[in-house]
Structure 1
């Protein structure tokens, strides 16, 4: 039953991220969009793995990894903007 909740949370986060993006409530390169995709991808991957659904589990794991890259890029860019470069 816990795995079902994890799957529903994953579904909800992915759907919410897409909804907020389409209504222009959040930017595609912002941390919130990436975090919702990370949680969503992880939740759906866990549920798919539990069901022995390899392709779905792989796709959602990749979705989560892409979100991690997005989060890292976001914070790296933010740090680069805060630290003035010395010329």
Structure 2
């Protein structure tokens, strides 16, 4: 089971790093659906991993990360003019 949890955690970390790279290179902006979706799925993966390994401070950070990503993603749905 821990191998699966590790893979989920590493995938989550990779998605967050990809999101950061894309925004840094200005391939996407902070209002894009892709950016928020990468952060959301990445946060879920890291959150699950940190919870499994009882790293609760990191779990709390990832829960907050997920909440912010959900908020940002919902804002893109409210404003469908954004393409990405």
Looking at structure 2, the residues matched to 51 and 25 of structure 1 have their Cα atoms a distance apart, in angstroms, of 34
Larger radius of gyration: 1
How far did 1:77 drift? 1.3
Match of 2:45 in 1: 43
- Unmatched 5+ residue regions in structure 2? none
Give runs of ≥4 in structure 1 deviating > 3 Å.
none
Q: How many positions carry a matched residue from both structures?
A: 79
* CA distance in structure 2 between the partners assigned to 1:58 and 1:49 by the alignment: 9
What TM-score results when the alignment is normalised by the length of structure 1?
A: 0.87
Q: Give the alignment partner of residue 68 of structure 2, picking from 53, 63, 66.
A: 66
Alpha-carbon distance, 1:61 to partner = 1.2
TM-score (norm 2): 0.90
Measured in 1, the distance between the counterparts of 2:23 and 2:16 equals 11
Alignment of 1:1-87 (within 5 A): 1-78=3-80
Structure with the bigger RCO (C-alpha within 8 Å, sep 6+) is 2
Q: Distance in 1 between matches of 2:34 and 2:79?
A: 15
